Chains A and B, each alone.
Chain A
Amino acid sequence: MTNRSVPLSTPAADAVAAATGEPLIVLTGVNKHFGDLHVLRDIDLTVAKGEVVVVLGPSGSGKSTLCRAINRLETYESGSITIDGMPLPEEGAALARLRADVGMVFQAFNLFAHKTILQNVTLGPIKVRGRSKAQAEKRAIELLTRVGVEQQAHKYPAQLSGGQQQRVAIARSLAMEPKAMLFDEPTSALDPEMINEVLDVMGQLAQEGMTMIVVTHEMGFARRAADRVIFMSDGQVLEQAPPEEFFNHPTTERAKDFLGKILTH
């Protein structure tokens, strides 16, 4: 397992350590179109157990679509995606089971608006995992405490701040005890002062060895928490490197241009 408790451990060593892990999420030759737009072009990507991969890129580069395809919230036309050796089922109960094993955190939080915070977190464990209500609630309170919103357990999502809602969303995913977590721009809809509270929770998760794919614009998080940075543009993976290497020595013009625009403002 990668030792991420030392935040500034050498990135190269990190990448090597991560790469020795067993592959958990494997994408091979994945292609997808939205009409004429080729949003994913021959994507090959392997994410090892315990690895934290941050996906960067300009908007419209296909990074969100990539993230959603892994959970099959987006279909794809060709190629294959396997999770823990299992090919992604097309639909039905098998797909539902697989989704239960892969947590997803959305840009818009998407907490169930008609349920309390506690019900949001216990719904999956009770309905999908068949836990008892008491068991599920006990675990939910632990998780809510861990993300620091246990005081709000009996409120409704609309009564919480964005940062609190997103932390609940993370707890809701964790309650399913997922093998991996996908984050689709988890801080993009947040007020600036709430971004850190969410990133802190994500950083903690990364340190505990959760396998994560994070689509984000938070370069600080990428530097701190990522084992590997993936740079996407126009539906292609243009670069893959440990964060320090990517930020200091991007190889493609597109990445240099992108970093120039982001890091100088």
Chain B
Amino acid sequence: MNALFSQFDLWSAFWMTIKLTVIGAIGSLILGTLVAVLRLSPVRMLRAAGTAYVTVFRNTPLTLIVFACSLVLWQTLGITLANDHSRDFFTVNNFRLALVALIVYHASFVCEALRSGVNTIPLGQAEAARSIGLTFTQSLREVVLPQAFRGAVTPLGNTLIALTKNTTVVMTIGVAELAYQLARINEFRSDLLNLAFAVMAMLFVILTVPVGIFLNTFSKRLAVKR
């Protein structure tokens, strides 16, 4: 156990997983909400754009999106997300590209979770909002989305937990999170592999189980009584 932690920087790997999860969650929540607004809008072109987004990103394997961010965005198109001259350019650039991939991928699931939340709201709520003179955006912001989020807590939670575990995919572009360290352990200290697996599993359980329990209580408390 000591050898594992002293030879491999598991704590910073764990911290990296947490950062990917938290920033990825916030980013995909924001982007997913925007896409959901597109899909709910009365304008046909915007709806089509939202649908296209979800179709493309929900149906593309995450690994492919992660690679595309690295190979296409950065290496081919030369888009960098960090200062080229800084010493930790590769670390920061890969970390940010990984976030982009996680966010665009999970945003499509957030969008669909929110739309399922919108479907739990009786049509009359939006009609009442319009009847007192709220505009489309106002009625979304004041009436529809707040209730949609409450109705969508459970599917949003699923997406959050999936996101936590999906962060392991970004090791493929060299982001030093937990799975990346696991691969290194496998390479350099395969005698510790069984222990390493157990420790990794524990660390993920520590992240995901409390989230699940919290979301359960949260969704009960927030549920809109009708």
Contacts and interface: CB of A to CB of B under 8 A. Distances in A.
B131 A99 contact: yes
Contact of A156 (B134, B142, B225): B225
B134 A110 contact: no
Interface stretch (A35-43, A111-119, A226-234): A111-119
B130 A158 contact: no
A111 B133 contact: no
Given A108-B124, A110-B124, A113-B226, A128 B150 contact: no
A124 interface: yes
Nearest to B141: A127
Contacts of A112: 125, 128-129, 142-143
Contact of B224 (A114, A124, A172, A173): A114
Interface string B124-158: 11011111111100100011001100100000000
Interface in A113-155: 113-114, 123-124, 127-128
Contacts of A55: none
B138 A113 contact: no
Contact of B132 (A73, A114, A123): A123
B129 to A, nearest CB: 7
A91 interface: yes
B42 interface: yes
A110 B130 contact: no
Contacts of A73: 127, 130-131
Which range contains the number of A residues in contact with the other chain? 20 to 34
A47 to B, nearest CB: 18
Contacts, number: 77
A251 B130 CA distance: 39
A110 B133 contact: no
Contacts of B130: 73, 96, 99
Contacts of A108: 122, 124
A106 interface: yes
Nearest to B121: A113
A128 B133 CA distance: 6
Contact of A114 (B124, B134, B147): B147
Given A91-B42, A113-B225, A96 B135 contact: yes
Contacts of B42: 91
A103 B129 CA distance: 11
Q: Which 3 A-B pairs have the closest CB atoms?
A: A100-B133, A158-B225, A110-B124
Interface of A: 71, 73, 91-93, 96-104, 106, 108-114, 123-124, 127-128, 156, 158-159, 169, 172-173, 176
16 contacts: A96-B135, A98-B133, A99-B130, A100-B132, A104-B127, A110-B127, A110-B128, A112-B125, A112-B142, A113-B224, A113-B226, A114-B147, A123-B134, A173-B131, A173-B132, A176-B133
Interface of B: 42, 122, 124-125, 127-135, 138, 142-143, 146-147, 150, 224-226
Given A100-B133, A114-B147, 12 more contacts: A73-B131, A93-B135, A96-B130, A96-B133, A98-B133, A99-B130, A100-B132, A103-B131, A110-B128, A128-B138, A158-B226, A169-B128
